[in-house]
Structures are given as structure tokens and as C-alpha cells.
Amino acid sequence: MSKEHQPALPAHPGRRAALGLLGASLAATLGACSAPESTPESAEATPASRSGGPLSAALSAGRSNVPGPAVPAALRRPGSKSIRHGFIPDFKLPPIQHGLAPVLTRIETKHPVVFLTIDDGVTRTPEMVGLMADYDFPASIFLTRNFVQADPGFFRQFAAQGSLVENHTVSHNVNMVSQMGYQQQLAEINGMQDYARQQFGRSPTLFRPPGGAYSTAMRQAVAAAGLKAIITWEAKSNAGKMDYQYGKALRPGDIVLMHFRPEFAADLAAFRAAQLAAGLEVVLLEDFLGVA
Ligand SMILES: [Zn+2]
């Protein structure tokens, strides 16, 4: 990534939390998700490991979808397809503490896994569906209601690979942490929760801030809306190439950001090449965190 897009964030989520309104000052510089996004910084790299174990029952058990009205059959996940080989998660999602949702930029794990997230939903092409099916990638799909409400059915197609729809607000205001108070932010988040329940038959458990900026008020609103965590990133596939906040390759536990954009095929190919080069398996983040 280019240097000018690197925000001067502190190095650890805990430190960020202490800074409270840091996100507000970053909002203006982070930019919209429809433009190349900045990559927040976080913890240092974890040494690669190949210690993945052959158990999937722990992850498959306990999964349940929230029944909703007129949920297409394709959305009722037939089973755990997303954990192909099975990994016993060695990372425990921090709980909501003091009313604040945790913020994750990557997952500290020794398993050879990587997590694919795809945002927004502005561009929709049959090619995207075909590519995801060909690669058979499960992904966390962070959708914005106002971007997708013309064609929510498009996104139901990704359930075939075990993908889940998550929360990326109603209106995608990249300045929401600075321009919106708590109640407005809560409305943005709750509005997408309601929409997702109606259209996709499941209450999202993960939240991605538009543009990546967050604040204490946002963390409170995310928790109040019933979500389990804010998910940011340190690696992204953008304009047909990978951008890394740290190093020059994917690491176990990386959360990769992509978008539904016209260059989707090139972005996905770049991610695919990086994933294979690093010897990582694409695993659904929600499965690994136990919040599917
Ligand atoms: Zn976005």
C-alpha cells in the first residue's frame, strides 16, 4: 500500500480503546470503502505454523440460524461446509466488557487459516458468484443496506459456499464516528440488523465500520445492537493486488478486506495467489470465532 494511506494508529486495540475518540479524528482520512481503504495497524506478526488439527465437530456444534420470515432455502446452511479440514480454534473472542464490543484486526492463531471479508455490495455481477463458487471460498460479507436493497437476492447466492452476511450499516457514512452521536450510530447498526434478519434470515454477529474508523461510542452501539465484535483488517486485496500493513505475505489469522467492485476478479485472484503462496486455508471467520 502507499505510505500516504497509512493512518498513524496506535499499535494495539487496547491502546486504541483507551484513546476513545481516536476514530473520530481518523474518519476524514480513511475515506470511503468505494475508494482504496486504509489499513489500520495492530499487533505484530505471528510465526507461521502448520499445526491445524482434524476436528470440526467443536465448530459445527451449536451453530444456529435465527429463523426469519420467508428465508430462502439456500440460506439455511445445510451443515458445516466452511470448515473443510477442521481447526480447533486457539483464539477466544474477547467478551463484551463494560458495554464495549471488542475490536479485532487479525486473529492470533497458530493454525494455517486466513479469513476473507467482502464489503459494501455496490457492484454485483454474475461473474462474482461464479468465481466464489469456483474457488469455493466462504466469506464474511459486510453489506450496507442502502447499497444492496435493490437486489438482496444476489447476495443469497454466496451462502452456497457457507458465506454469511454481516453488518456494514444502513448508509455507509464514513464519517459516522465524528458526525453521528451514539443514538444515530445505533440506528445505523440496528437498521442493518433488521434488514439482514428479514432478507437473510440471520442476525449478523460482526460489524465493520464504514471506512474502518471506530470510537468508544461505536463500540458501545455495536454491543447494544447485539453484535459480538468490530472487525477491521491489516491486509486487503485492492486494484488487483495485495496490500499488507505488515510484511509482504499473508500470515496465519489475517483478515483480508475486499469489496464488491468491478475489479472483483482481479482482486480475488490476487487473494487466491497470496493464500496459496502462504499455505493458508480460507476459513469462515464466524466459525473460527464461534459466532456463526
Ligand atoms: Zn465499506
Query: CA end-to-end span of the chain, whole Å?
Result: 31
| CA 177–ligand 1 middle distance (angstroms) | 14
Q: What integer best gives the mean pLDDT of the chain?
A: 79
170 Cβ contact list (under 8 Å, min separation 6): 144, 145, 146, 187, 188, 191, 192, 195
User: Is a pLDDT exceeding 90 seen at residue 292?
Assistant: yes
Confidence (pLDDT) at 105: 98
271 Cβ contact list (under 8 Å, min separation 6): 116, 237, 242, 256, 258
| CA 49–ligand 1 middle distance (angstroms) | 31
To the nearest whole percent, how much of the chain has pLDDT over 90? 69
| CA 171–ligand 1 middle distance (angstroms) | 10
User: Is a pLDDT exceeding 60 seen at residue 269?
Assistant: yes
Report whether 115 contacts 282 (CB < 8 A): yes
Report whether 23 contacts 55 (CB < 8 A): no
12-65 confidence digits (pLDDT tens)? 333 333 333 333 333 333 334 543 344 343 333 333 333 333 323 334 333 333
| CA 74–ligand 1 middle distance (angstroms) | 25
Q: What structural domains and CATH numbers belong to the chain? A: 50-63+73-289 (3.20.20.370)
Report the DSSP pairing between strands 140-143 and 164-167.
parallel
> Cα(32)–Cα(23) distance, rounded to whole angstroms?
14
| CA 50–ligand 1 middle distance (angstroms) | 32
